[in-house]
Amino acid sequence: MRQNGMFSCTIDQLRLTGLQLGIALCIAIAGTPVALNAQQPTLVASAPAPAPESSSIAAPSEPAEPSTLTTADLPDAPSALLYPQSTQSTVPSKPIETTDPNAVSPNGTQQTKRILGIVPNFRSVSADTKLPPMTPKEKFLIAGKDTFDYSSFFIAGIQAGFAMNSASYPEFHQGLKGYGRYYWHTLADTADENFWVGGLGPIIFKQDNRFYTLGHGGFRKRALYAVSRVVISRKDDGDATFNFAEIIGSGAASGISSLYYPTKYRTWTKVGQKWLTSDIIDGFNFFYKEFWPDVNKRIFHTH
């Protein structure tokens, strides 16, 4: 009789173990590793009751009810790679709505109006913050601000120097006059790009022309997010949409720029090359704008 009781108890233990392994396997397949709490385990199984002396069949033991699992207990919860486990409760569940374009992100970083004190960064928004929609007038004005900022003239001068040094357009020739041709063509290209992509495009397609920083997650996730903003944007109401302003706007700017370049450069191939180059450059711009707040905080110890 005791042997039968021991055998029955062993089967109950196997069943309980199988149940636990099945649950663990489902969790592993779903890609959601569970962090067990030392004081209150997620899964607790009570020990099987011993078989009574006079009974031939032992009563099966009932497993304890599993404790409630919260999002904060998951090691791969959103923002886990950036924020320590002890401070995850401070991460907002949704962006904080504000009217202050200079707002600091809840994670302590901030998109400054200039990068390294020189490069314009007027259309970047700090992570986990949401600004009200811009009016058409505001979109047009911020495009003009990007175009006629003092740094634009300085950067155009550097670009013109490189272009002349590599003789990108032999028809412009060399010397002071040649440099002048390269310079004003570069300024005109900058104005075309800024107004079509940052001003007219967002107005026509009713898109938000600002770059919203992701701000948390691994490097790969943030990098992919940043460069994907070339083809993915937001509507004025906040919904995701195809970035018509970027793709169509940069194409329009490339086509217009061909009108003031030598005739031999007014071909579909040349326009397409300039179009693609513009989008690649904008993707790189989004990339370094995504990580600029982190660099600024860690290296320069400022928001």
Range with lowest mean pLDDT among 102-106, 243-247, 251-255: 102-106
At 16 the pLDDT is 52
Average pLDDT over residues 274-303: 92
Q: Looking at the domain assignment, is residue 50 inside a domain?
A: yes
Q: Looking at the domain assignment, is residue 66 inside a domain?
A: yes
Higher pLDDT, 103 or 142: 142
Query: Quick one: 63 and 96 in the same domain?
Result: no
At 101 the pLDDT is 84
Q: Looking at the domain assignment, is residue 78 inside a domain?
A: no
Of 254, 281, 269, 124, nearest to 196 (Cα)?
A: 254
234 - beta bridge partners?
A: 208, 240
pLDDT of 183 strictly over 80: yes
pLDDT of 80 strictly over 90: no
Query: Quick one: 17 and 161 in the same domain?
Result: no
pLDDT of 172 strictly over 70: yes
Which residues 6+ apart lie within 8 Å of 11 measured at CB?
A: none
What is the pLDDT confidence band of residue 23, given thresholds at 50, 70 and 90? Answer: low
pLDDT of 126 strictly over 60: yes
What is the pLDDT confidence band of residue 54, given thresholds at 50, 70 and 90? Answer: very low
Secondary structure, 3-state, 156-200: HHHHHHHHHHCCCCHHHCCHHHHHHHHHHHHHHHHHHHHHHHHHH
Query: Quick one: 211 and 117 in the same domain?
Result: yes
* Mean pLDDT (the chain, rounded): 78
Answer yes or no: are the C-beta atoms of 277 and 301 closer than 8 Å: no
Range of the domain at 165: 86-299
Query: Quick one: 156 and 227 in the same domain?
Result: yes
Q: Looking at the domain assignment, is residue 262 inside a domain?
A: yes
Higher pLDDT, 267 or 46: 267
What is the pLDDT confidence band of residue 97, given thresholds at 50, 70 and 90? Answer: confident
Query: Quick one: 41 and 131 in the same domain?
Result: no
Look up tokens 């004190």; give the residue: 117
Q: Looking at the domain assignment, is residue 80 inside a domain?
A: no
Structure tokens at 26: 């489902």
Of 43, 44, 49, nearest to 61 (Cα)?
A: 49
At 78 the pLDDT is 37
Within 10 angstroms of residue 211's Cβ, the number of other Cβ atoms is: 19
Q: Looking at the domain assignment, is residue 79 inside a domain?
A: no
Query: Quick one: 120 and 214 in the same domain?
Result: yes
pLDDT of 5 strictly over 50: no
**Share of residues in the chain with pLDDT > 70 (%):** 69
At 301 the pLDDT is 73
Helices (H) and strands (E) in the chain, counts: 8, 9
What is the pLDDT confidence band of residue 103, given thresholds at 50, 70 and 90? Answer: confident
Average pLDDT over residues 268-273: 94
At 85 the pLDDT is 34
Total residue count of the chain as it appears in this document: 303
Backbone angles phi, psi at 119, to 5 degrees: -70, 125
Give the full edge-to-edge strand order of the sheet including 232-235: 207-208, 232-235, 240-242
At 86 the pLDDT is 34
Query: Quick one: 102 and 61 in the same domain?
Result: no
Q: Looking at the domain assignment, is residue 153 inside a domain?
A: yes
Q: Give the end of a domain, one of 47, 73, 99.
A: 73
Query: Quick one: 69 and 117 in the same domain?
Result: no
Higher pLDDT, 204 or 86: 204
Q: Give the end of a domain, one of 73, 98, 130.
A: 73
What is the pLDDT confidence band of residue 19, given thresholds at 50, 70 and 90? Answer: low
Q: Looking at the domain assignment, is residue 28 inside a domain?
A: yes
Query: Quick one: 147 and 107 in the same domain?
Result: yes
Higher pLDDT, 43 or 156: 156
Number of domains the chain contains: 2
Query: Quick one: 243 and 108 in the same domain?
Result: yes
The number of C-alpha atoms within 13 Å of 226 and in the hemisphere containing its C-beta is 26
Query: Quick one: 47 and 172 in the same domain?
Result: no
Query: Quick one: 163 and 221 in the same domain?
Result: yes
pLDDT of 38 strictly over 60: no
Q: Give the end of a domain, one of 21, 52, 73.
A: 73
